[in-house]
């Protein structure tokens, strides 16, 4: 491999569109990139994803480039890029609320099998951040909760599930993004805790993930003064990535960066310059999710740093050997070393001293070796020269049943101070706050049907309003008039991150002033209760995907019991572990 080839392997690149254009092809064939990341902007359907994957892998094969990492953020729940045509599992906090570590494994294994069927071989999950800050704007329900021990246990089972399904797992965001009140997509957070506190809280889940053999760990764009004397985020800190993670914690897998175009990096250090700094610090994979100029700039800057002696050739070889070894381990370069369903431990087993020249495939003759673009498709099978997708397992009844069972078990009744539940005795006005992009990790949100539609589907006589957060203030008077004049005996409000939204708080308090029974269902962060402690009937679903809405509707109607337990504390009266049964 040339120096340029090796550096390309250290880049994961994002792109626009749902098919391969000339720029993307050149990134693969001319720049030898290590892989791509799929966002919602790249997704139309599972079949389209499988065809795009086939095209990408064929392009790599045709040019003699190593097969690609095909990566995605498919955490489950509210952070998922593929939401249609698959069995979308609940998110981390919902799984923790349901309480079964075995289900954490099963959800990840099931999701992993579906990802692998579409050719996706690396997932940016699980989230191992300990969410002990109610004002955290970016982690929230993505976390398994506020207990380091619980996050460690559920995280380890989740990563095992993905990896046993043949998909590399990524523990994130090292050493912990849970105790921040700043979104690193927007600025550089600072976590001031000393090292003793970090050992007790933030680092526990990552130590357990390393013991469990996690394939990759993603760095956080956060400054920890306890780890770094200079004001550098962990992603750019040699003391954190090499000193702590590689040497002290003994991690032998892949160290990757979070996206280098996030403001915590781009605005403070510059994406291109910081890519060199991340490699200096010890990163093996650099993630640049959006702009082609920054992707090519990062490759060129790393190459120049080697030629000028700022980075050694040995430093590049170290990462490339590790990356290719992991591709071999996970079957990206051929047959897996660890058969499906049999747990392996790459942290102890990958041959990091292999020679990358030996395992790069020869180029395929484009005349005889590559079928027509998008391969050939027959029913649930998509076939190309280098990849076969069997989509028949996607969204199967068995997989949907796993998701449904976990979702229903997660529904949590926090407060029941009025004889209002189960619903059904009074005509009810149901106001659902539509999901909205609260942070760039959400990428996009579709409003869809609300909680009222789910309640109607299960037999409740109700009026329904679905309203985006941005429209509440201008519609508040009309909403209250409807509540007064519509003949309703009960009100239900499905909130969405209300703790960060004065308009939602005003809506709930205005309905309370009408002195009729009111129930609030938190459809994302359960911390919404802290914004209006006067509410006497309060439940949490940890998400507003259709399955979560259906589960909450069933619980409010008494068709299923509330069985979930809070993974986080909502004040002294409702500590972690709290949950009423009804």
Q: Are strands 376-378 and 381-383 parallel, antiparallel or unpaired?
A: antiparallel
Which two three-digit tokens encode residue 128?
């191992």
In this structure, the dihedral spanned by the alpha carbons of residues 129, 133, 135 and 137, taken in order and rounded to 10 degrees, is 0
All residues at 6 or more sequence positions from 223 whose CB lies less than 8 Å from its CB, including other chains: 188, 189, 190, 191, 231, 232, 233, 234
Instruction: Say whether 416 is catalytic.
Output: no
Q: Which of 185, 290, 399, 490 is catalytic?
A: 185
- Residue corresponding to tokens 């706050």: 433
CA distance 430 to 465: 6
User: What pairs with residue 495 in β-bridges?
Assistant: 522
Query: In 10 A of CB 397, how many CB atoms?
Result: 7
Residue 465: φ, ψ to 5°: -130, 130
Residue 172 bridge partners (DSSP): 127
User: Catalytic: which of 183, 258, 284, 501?
Assistant: 258
> Residue 255 has which token pair?
């160290």
Nearest to 567 by CA among 127, 157, 99, 153: 99
258 is catalytic: yes
Q: Taking a C-beta distance cutoff of 8 angstroms, is the pair 308, 291 a contact?
A: no
In angstroms, the CA 358 to CA 326 distance is: 15
Look-up of token digits 């526990």: 204
Q: How many CB atoms lie within 10 A of CB 149?
A: 12
Q: How many CA atoms lie within 13 A of 257 on its CB side?
A: 36
Residues near 314 by Cβ (< 8 Å), separated by ≥ 6?
A: none
Q: Which residue has the tokens 């927007």?
A: 186
**Distance in Å from the first CA to the final CA of the chain:** 63
Both tokens of residue 433?
Answer: 């706050």
Cα 220 from Cα 1, distance rounded (Å): 30
Helix/strand/coil (H/E/C) assignment for every residue in 95-145: HHHHCCHHHHHHHHHHHHHHHHHCCCCEECCCECCCCCCCCCCCCHHHCCC
Active site residues: 185, 258
């Amino acid at each position: 491999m040339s120096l340029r080839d090796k550096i390309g392997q250290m880049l994961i690149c994002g792109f626009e569109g749902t098919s391969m254009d000339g720029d993307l092809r050149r990134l693969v064939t001319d720049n030898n990139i290590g892989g791509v990341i799929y966002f919602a902007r790249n997704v139309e359907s599972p079949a389209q994803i499988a065809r795009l994957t086939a095209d990408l892998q064929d392009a790599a094969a045709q040019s003699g480039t190593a097969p690609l990492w095909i990566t995605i953020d498919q955490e489950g729940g509210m952070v998922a890029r593929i939401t249609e045509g698959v069995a979308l599992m609940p998110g981390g906090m919902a799984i923790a609320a349901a309480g079964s570590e075995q289900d954490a494994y099963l959800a990840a294994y099931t999701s992993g099998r579906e990802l692998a069927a579409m050719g996706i071989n690396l997932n940016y999950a699980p989230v191992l951040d300990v969410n002990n800050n109610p004002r955290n704007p970016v982690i929230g329900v993505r976390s398994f909760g506020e207990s380091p021990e619980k996050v460690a246990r559920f995280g380890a089972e989740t990563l095992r599930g993905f990896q046993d399904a043949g998909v590399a797992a990524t523990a994130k965001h090292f050493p912990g993004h849970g105790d921040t009140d700043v979104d690193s997509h927007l600025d550089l957070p600072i976590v001031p805790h000393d090292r003793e506190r970090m050992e007790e809280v933030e680092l526990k889940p990552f130590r357990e993930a390393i013991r469990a053999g996690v394939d990759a760990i993603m760095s956080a764009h956060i400054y920890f003064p306890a780890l770094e004397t200079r004001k550098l985020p962990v992603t750019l800190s040699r003391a954190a990535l090499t000193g702590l993670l590689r040497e002290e914690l003994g991690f032998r897998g892949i160290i990757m960066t979070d996206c280098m175009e996030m403001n915590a990096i781009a605005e403070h250090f510059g994406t291109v310059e910081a890519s060199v700094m991340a490699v200096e610090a010890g990163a093996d994979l650099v993630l640049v999710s959006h702009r082609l100029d920054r992707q090519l700039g990062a490759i060129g800057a790393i190459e120049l740093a080697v030629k000028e002696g700022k980075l050694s050739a040995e430093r590049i070889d170290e990462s490339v050997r590790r990356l290719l070894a992991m591709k071999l381990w996970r079957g990206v370069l051929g047959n897996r070393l660890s058969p499906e369903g049999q747990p392996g431990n790459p942290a102890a087993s990958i041959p990091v001293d292999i020679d990358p020249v030996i395992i790069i495939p020869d180029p395929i003759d484009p005349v005889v070796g590559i079928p027509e673009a998008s391969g050939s498709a027959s029913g649930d099978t998509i076939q190309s020269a280098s990849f076969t997708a069997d989509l028949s397992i996607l969204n199967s009844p068995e997989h949907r049943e796993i998701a449904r069972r976990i979702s229903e078990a997660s529904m949590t009744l926090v407060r029941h101070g009025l004889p209002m539940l189960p619903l059904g005795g009074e005509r009810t006005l149901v106001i659902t706050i539509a999901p909205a992009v609260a942070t760039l990790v959400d990428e996009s949100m579709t409003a869809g049907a609300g909680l009222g539609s789910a309640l109607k589907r299960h037999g409740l006589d109700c009026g329904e309003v679905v309203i985006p957060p941005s429209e509440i203030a201008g519609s508040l008077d009309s909403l209250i008039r409807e509540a007064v004049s519509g003949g309703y005996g009960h009100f239900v409000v499905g909130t969405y991150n209300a703790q960060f939204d004065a308009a939602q708080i005003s809506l709930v308090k205005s309905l309370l002033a009408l002195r009729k029974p009111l129930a609030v269902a938190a459809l994302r962060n359960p911390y919404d209760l802290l914004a209006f402690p006067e509410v006497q009937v309060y439940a949490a679903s940890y998400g507003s995907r259709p399955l979560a809405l259906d589960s909450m509707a069933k619980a409010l109607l008494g068709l299923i019991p509330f069985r979930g337990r809070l993974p986080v504390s909502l004040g002294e009266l409702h500590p972690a572990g709290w949950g009423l049964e009804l």
